[in-house]
Structures are given as structure tokens and as C-alpha cells.
């Protein structure tokens, strides 16, 4: 798990005491309640620049630090692919318009 994730999670787990956060750490048992889930979500989205899918907003995602991190990782992977694809697409557009320009010049 990313150390930034552990840092942002810590203040939400007021019953953590001196324990370290591991993937098995239960979020509910250590103080995360459903009313705080949205604040945690905002913190995740700001830190990792991702949007977690609505489908993953269930109890299984918010069960443990590891289950939540898995969803963040999956969303990060998805978000990285999309801009690449867009970039390729605009490169292609650029090439096409250059070709058009060249064609016009002739």
C-alpha cells in the first residue's frame, strides 16, 4: 500500500492506537463510520487524482485498508490508460490535419 494512502487513512481510524495499518486492518472496527466514508473518499480522490467507480461504493470496498487500496489501485490503472488513449487519438488527428494541409498546399 502506498505510504500516502496510509497517511490519509490514519486520521479516520481513531481507535487504531499504536497499531500499524496493514492490508488486513478493519476500517469499521478502528473507527470509520458510514458518515465519514464520503470525507475519506474526497481525501482519496484529491491525493491520487482518481474517481472511484460508483459500483465499488459498497461494504466490501470499505471493509479493510487492503480492500480499499485495491479499488484505488484499479481506478488509478484505469485513469492512466484513458489519457494515453486520448493523446494517441489527438496525435492521429494532428497527423490527419497535417496531411490535409499538405494536400491543400499541393
Partner 1 sequence: MNAIAAGSAAVADPPAPGRLAELTDRVAAVSAAHLDRTDRDAVFPVEALDEMRRTGLLGLLVPAGYGGLGGGVRDLVEACTTLGRTDMSVAMIFAMHCQQVAAVVSHGTERLRAELLPQVAGGKSYLASVTTEAGKGGHLLTAGAALDATGDELAVDRFAPIVTGGAHADGFLVTMLAPDATSPSQVSLVYAHRDQLSVEQTGDWQPLGMRASHSVALRLRGSVPEHHVVGAQGGFRSVVTSVFGPLAHLGWSASWLGTAAGALSRVLRMLRSPENRGRVDLGSELLLTRLSEARRRLDTVHALLTRTERTVSRSADLSLPRIQLQLNALKITAAEECYAAVDGLIEAVGMRHGYLKGSPTRLEHALRDLRSASLNYSNDRLHLADGKLALLDPEVRFV
The stretch near partner 1 (CB under 8 A) out of 13-21, 71-79, 84-92, 96-104 is 13-21
Torsion of CA 14, 49, 54, 15, to 10 degrees: -10
- Which CB sits closer to partner 1, 41 or 43? 41
Return the DSSP state at 54: G
String of DSSP letters for 32-53: --GGGHHHHHHHHHHHH-----
Interface of this chain with partner 1, residues 18 to 77, rule: CB under 8 A = 28-31, 33-35, 37-38, 41, 54-55, 57-60
- Which CB sits closer to partner 1, 8 or 37? 37
Amino acid at each position: 500500500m502506498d505510504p500516502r494512502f496510509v497517511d490519509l487513512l490514519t486520521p479516520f481510524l481513531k481507535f487504531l492506537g499504536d497499531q500499524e495499518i496493514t492490508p488486513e486492518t478493519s476500517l469499521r472496527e478502528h473507527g470509520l463510520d458510514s458518515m465519514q466514508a464520503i470525507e475519506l473518499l474526497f481525501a482519496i480522490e484529491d491525493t491520487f487524482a482518481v474517481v472511484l467507480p460508483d459500483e465499488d461504493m459498497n461494504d466490501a470496498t470499505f471493509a479493510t485498508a487492503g480492500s480499499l487500496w485495491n479499488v484505488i489501485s484499479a481506478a488509478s490503472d484505469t485513469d492512466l490508460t484513458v489519457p494515453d488513449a486520448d493523446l494517441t487519438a489527438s496525435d492521429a488527428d494532428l497527423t490527419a490535419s497535417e496531411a490535409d494541409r499538405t494536400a491543400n498546399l499541393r
